[in-house]
Amino acid sequence: MTTKTIRSRFSHEVGDRVEGCTILEKRVVIPPDPVEKRRGVYDYVVEVAPEPAKESKATSRRSAATAEASSGGQETRAPEGSFTRASPEEMAGGLIRRIPPR
């Protein structure tokens, strides 16, 4: 069983569900003040279901890139995580339109 702490401005009781997790423990961080119409702040220790182990995305990308490179694809691409702006020649039309000042 794995647990995590969730902070919320809504009052729930032990055993209720918050964000799909069951509340195990409730702690009042800031008590509510009805005179000033302020909600309280609560910390909830919740039970988190263990996530099933799955293949990481980075590994599947590498294997897909290796398969694509071995197939003889002529198009060269930048790595998945990098980003480069297109030059005006690469953009459709090649024209940059400027909006006049008001």
Per-residue confidence (pLDDT) for residue 102, from 0 to 100: 78
Q: Express each pLDDT in 24-81 by its tens digit.
A: 999 999 999 989 889 999 999 999 877 776 666 655 555 555 555 555 555 566 666 6
> Which residue, chain included where needed, has tokens 């409730």?
26
Place of tokens 């220790």: 45
Spatial neighbors of 21 by CB under 8 A, at least 6 apart, are 4, 6, 46, 47, 48, 49
Q: How many CB atoms lie within 10 A of CB 44?
A: 24
- Structure-block tokens of residue 29: 């961080």
Q: Where are the domains of the chain?
A: 2-48
Q: Which of 2-11, 34-43, 92-101 has the lowest mean pLDDT?
A: 92-101
pLDDT at position 66: 57
